[in-house]
Amino acid sequence: MRNDIQEVLFTEQEIQEKVAELGRQITADYAGKNLLILCVLKGAFIFVSDLVKKIDLKLDIDFMAVSSYGNATKSSGVVKIVKDLDAPVEGRDILIVEDIIDSGLTLSYLIDVLERRNAHSVKVVTMFDKPHRRTVGLEADYKGFLIPDAFIVGYGLDYAEKYRNLPFVGVLKPEVYSGHA
Ligand code: 5GP
Ligand code: MG
Ligand code: MG
């Protein structure tokens, strides 16, 4: 699997340090609130599990799965809820946990849904951010790392459902996309 990686962008240690920093900020900002962590599956599953261990608050965790990408590396622009939350969110302070924000389409759709369900507040933490690729005006409240215009894998992020379990984040070798790996 590591042989398919052309370049490591962020090491496991760099990622863990960033997660701890985000956890400290979130802990301070949500003190005294009834925080609901909303993990957006599948990409954010590793990030959320590391992050919640660094948030020193009594909180709830729920999961939502949306699809917008399929196996391709570009957004289809179509977002659909594949798995919805277990509990109502009316009046809740929600922190959406995302793996990466690219066009922002997925997220703006989600925020819309949560606001229509009368959440008290909706904020976003993303591990990775590609701000120059945005097609909707939207910014995360907490951000890990800025990503250049590259398709990254690892730390939850996949290419055709593979590479999610890499503990670091990297760029695939071009031959992997062309099917010669
Ligand atoms: P958006 O709706 O913001 O365009 O898309 C967000 C989703 O696209 C992410 O949750 C992720 O599934 C996928 N995505 C965007 N950029 C990348 C990338 O560089 N690598 C991977 N593996 N997925 C990406
Ligand atoms: Mg995502
Ligand atoms: Mg994906």
pLDDT digits (tens, 9 = 90+) for 102-142: 999 889 999 999 999 999 999 999 999 999 989 898 999 99
b/e per residue 82-91 (b: at least 16 CB within 10 A): eeebeeebee
Strands 60-67 and 35-41: parallel
Q: What is the pTM of this model?
A: 0.94
**Of 15, 29, 66, which Cα lies nearest the Cα of 168?**
15
Task: Break the chain into its structural domains and give their ranges.
Answer: 13-149
Active site residue 93: no
Domain 13-149 in this protein, CATH class: alpha beta
Is any ligand 1 atom within 6 A of the Cβ of residue 50?
no
Please tell me the residue having the least CA distance from ligand 1 atom 23.
157
Residue ranges of the chain whose pLDDT lies below 50? 71
Cα separations (Å) of 86 from 34, 62, 97, 150, 151?
Answer: 17, 7, 16, 34, 32
Q: Give the pLDDT confidence score for residue 67 in this predicted structure.
A: 82
Taking alpha carbons only, the member of 64, 43, 55 closest to residue 19 is 55
